Structure 1
Amino acid sequence: MLKSNSKAASVSFKGVTKIYGTDVRAVDNVSLDIAAGTLVTLLGPSGCGKTTTLRMIAGLEMTSAGTVHIGDTDVTMLPATDRDVSMVFQSYALFPHMSVLENVSYGLKFSGFGKTETKERALAGLELVGLTGYGNRLPSELSGGQQQRVAVARALVLEPQVLLFDEPLSNLDAKLRRKVREEIREIQQKLGLTVVYVTHDQEEALAVSDRIIVMNNAVIAQDGTPRELYEEPASRFVADFIGEANILKCQIKTVKDDVAKVVLGDYKIKLPSRGLKPGHTFLAVRPNRVHISADVNTVGISGEIIRQTYVGNHLELTIKTAFGEIFATSSNVDSKYEIGAEVRVSFSDKGPVLLHE
């Protein structure tokens, strides 16, 4: 059986830049620290620099400036073959002519293990990913989810210092994606692995990560826990990219003791100032933190229901207001809001956050 990985190492970038050609900056002066034994996700839209960052950890791309450390070792100039990392690719990259057991054993043959130990470790890897008894099958005889698990087992048996995942679930359907991501997280925690995980799927990142590093335009937009990023986004980009958010223009009237008095028309609320000063700015509020009242005399923003959708376990509502359209969800599926009805919109005490640009 594979045991907890005592080799798991930290990853550190110091001022790393990657330039393609003469002026295309794929990664621009990025510094980050990933603690040993944690799962950290690089999240962002296409072209933000997340995959290039992952490939520089792997040694598949070399830095244009800055340094990369794995544990206490400066690996900046080391090729991929001299770095103790394993990578699980989006395409799985299984050898079609080899059996499942041969695929999982492949890397072990070049790592100094004897024939008996190689087989034992490969079988332990298959057991860990729930594929005991599948060793003699060919990849073509497996489902997509099973092929992905073979790719994970092949990487795990090498017990690398760092395990890298590049969009590992993008080829799977939604239900299977949820199952496999849970399995990856369970294995990571069980073995104490250092995992760097790249995805553009926000829900996937929130589900598996100890920390998420959100990237945009080749730099880090925000770094924090899933809860911090969801509940306390630092900018309009992060608020809009991680989950759904209503981003509304507002005005800070006063700030005292880090508490801001904020107004949206006649609606007045108090929020943590987050270092902002009086003046015009934006706030973000999640759809499930929006309250709708049919009583137009209650405190809130005046609005009109323009769309209502029943999606089983909740209602989705769009309200037209002077501050733009506000999207809200309600768990009270028995409520019926007429299109065109006047309502008042207010926010939960905990939920709205002021945003930096």
Structure 2
Amino acid sequence: MTATISSKAAPVRFEAVTKRFGKDVVAVDAINLHVEAGKLVTLLGPSGCGKTTTLRMIAGLEMASSGRILIGDRDVTKLPATDRDVSMVFQSYALFPHMSVLENVTYGLTFSGFGKAEARSRALAGLDLVGLKGFDARLPSELSGGQQQRVAVARALVLEPQVLLFDEPLSNLDAKLRRQVREDIRAIQQDLGLTVVYVTHDQEEALAVSDEIVVMRNAAIAQIGTPRQLYDTPNDRFVADFIGEANLIACQIVAVEGDMATIEIEGYRHSLPSRGMATGPGTIAVRPSRLLIGADRGIPATVAKATYVGVRMEYTLTGAFGQVFAVHDDVDAPLEPGAKITMSFADKGPVLLPE
């Protein structure tokens, strides 16, 4: 089902935007970014990479040092937060503890000039939308962490912003609740056709909720793509290792024909897209789930560690190639540490990393 884009949803564009703090600290370095209307785009990266500063510049909580920021067709670069049609959901929820759920949700509406009756009507509709119908009289302290997060989402949604911003919204929730609330956020975004910019350092969360992911590193953009594009064809070592988990293995590119290459590791050969590379030394990235253990032909390896985690086995394998991490679904006949095995790659397994 294709979501209908909200009539208020607007694209966001960054044109060579830089943010400096003082003379020496460059938090965001001349980035160009386009968030389409009605899409959920995640800014992903390690601490200090510039993702939260980028989000805060959209909100107007930080001002760009240079470049332009547009929301829809409007240049908002120098506008304060109050003059931008955006709402933000914070990591801490920022609910008023002495106010009821309904009062928390109506708070922003009242300040935006809505009458008491309309503010109440909108707030009740917002609570219904996030699955909290009937919770309006409760205090935040009477809600679970997931319910408090939904109140924060409802409070932002009722303002019908052009852009909805999320700053690490799930970091205070336990693992099971994180999965449930991220599904809720994604469903609401798709149902309402909202433009959402979402910040997280959690790779799994980003893969689960996003139309597109912007991977940031050292104040710049390392790669932009769909979750599958980033997972299957990372641009470099950093993206390969940061999105999901990847084993980086040295190889020799022994042949290139058209857009396909043949690599060799200890006599084992495998064909894969060449990505514009020529014969010679190379590096591949291969996901743990795409390493095949026990094939008739492959790369000699030794099981250094075997860990049972319920639904699968996790193995650390060592060999002349170094050390790799692999997973296997067979939990009933696990390999023992010290076992000698051969290791190969799934057909759609490794990817060459351009140098």
Is the shorter-chain TM-score for this pair beyond 0.5, marking a shared fold? yes
Q: Is 2:87 the partner of 1:86?
A: yes
The Cα shift of 1:263 comes to 1.3
112-121 vs 164-173, which moves further: 112-121
Match of 1:348 in 2: 346
After the TM superposition, list the runs of 4 or more consecutive aligned residues in structure 1 that deviate by more than 3 angstroms. none
Corresponding residue number in structure 2 for 1:127: 128
The aligned residue for residue 307 of structure 2 is: 309
* AA of the residue aligned to 1:256: E
Contact 2:5–2:192 (8 Å) recurs in 1: yes
**Cα distance, 1:153 vs structure 2:** 0.3
Distance 1:47 1:251 in 2: 35
The offset of 1:45, in angstroms, is: 0.4
Unaligned runs of 5+ in 1: none
Write out per-residue CA displacement over residues 12-43 of structure 1, whole angstroms, 9 at most, x where no aligned residue: 00111111110211111100100000000000
In structure 2, the residue matched to 1:142 is: 143
1:104, 1:58 → 2: CA distance? 19
Match of 1:339 in 2: 337
The aligned counterpart of 1:55 is: 56
Structure 1 pair 169–21 and aligned structure 2 pair: CA distance change class (3 A): same
Q: How many residues align?
A: 352
- Where do 5+ consecutive residues of structure 2 fail to align? none
- Give, in whole Å, the separation in 2 of the partners of 1:231 and 1:352: 8
Q: After superposition, where does 1:169-318 map in structure 2 within 5 Å? A: 169-293=170-294, 298-318=296-316
Matched residue of 1:106: which SS?
helix
Q: How far apart in 2 are the matches of 1:341 and 1:109? A: 68
Aligned partners of 1:5 and 1:159 also within 8 Å: no
Structure 2 counterpart of 1:27, one-letter code: V
Q: What is the alpha-carbon root mean square deviation over aligned residues?
A: 1.2
| 1:89-135 superposed Cα distances (whole Å, 9 cap, x missing partner) | 00111111211101100111122322211110000001011111111
Counterpart CA distance in 2 for 1:44 and 1:115 is 42
The structural deviation recorded for 1:207 is 0.5
**Counterparts of 2:44 and 2:327, CA distance in 1:** 25
Q: Matched residues in 2 for 1:336 and 1:13: separation?
A: 51
Deviation at 1:356, TM superposition (A): 2.2
> Does the 8 Å CA contact 1:90/1:171 hold for their aligned counterparts?
yes
- Do the aligned residues in 1 keep the contact of 2:313 with 2:334 (CA within 8 Å)? no
TM-score (norm 1): 0.96
Moved more, 167-176 or 256-265: 256-265
Aligned-residue offset at 1:339: 1.9
Residue 28 of structure 1 corresponds to 29
User: In the TM superposition, what is the alpha-carbon distance from 1:254 to its structure 2 partner?
Assistant: 2.7
Structure 1 Cα separation of the partners of residues 215 and 5 of structure 2: 29
Deviations 1:143-191 (Å, cap 9, x if unpaired)?
Answer: 1111111100000000000000000010011111111110000000010
